[in-house]
């Protein structure tokens, strides 16, 4: 038996906007549009709380 491996769209194009990457993952997992909007709302709040820095910049080296 072979396992179907889900394609990771955000790895193919790492320079894509964060919102597009989030949208791709949510659609890959078959989340509803309403859930996607809710998640994005929380992501925006997180980014604003941290001074509009990209989440990638918040990680420790």
For 3-41, the pLDDT digits (tens) are 444 555 555 666 889 899 999 999 999 999 999 999 999
Q: Contact, 19 vs 56, CB < 8 A?
A: no
Tokens (6 digits) for 35: 């859930």
Phi first, then psi: what are they for 39, rounded to 5°?
A: -60, -45
Q: Quick one: pLDDT at residue 55?
A: 83
Q: Quick one: pLDDT at residue 3?
A: 46
Q: Contact, 54 vs 18, CB < 8 A?
A: yes
60: pLDDT strictly greater than 60: yes
Q: How confident is the model at residue 44 (pLDDT cuts 50, 70, 90)?
A: very high
- DSSP code string of the chain: --PPPPP-HHHH-TTS-HHHHHHHHHHHTT--HHHHHHHHHHHHHHHHHTTS--HHHHS--
């Amino acid at each position: 038996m072979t396992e179907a491996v889900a394609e990771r769209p955000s790895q193919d194009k790492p320079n894509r906007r964060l919102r597009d990457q989030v949208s791709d993952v949510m659609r890959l997992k078959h989340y509803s549009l309403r859930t996607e909007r809710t998640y994005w709302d929380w992501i925006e709040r997180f980014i604003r709380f941290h001074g509009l820095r990209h989440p990638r910049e918040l990680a420790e080296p």
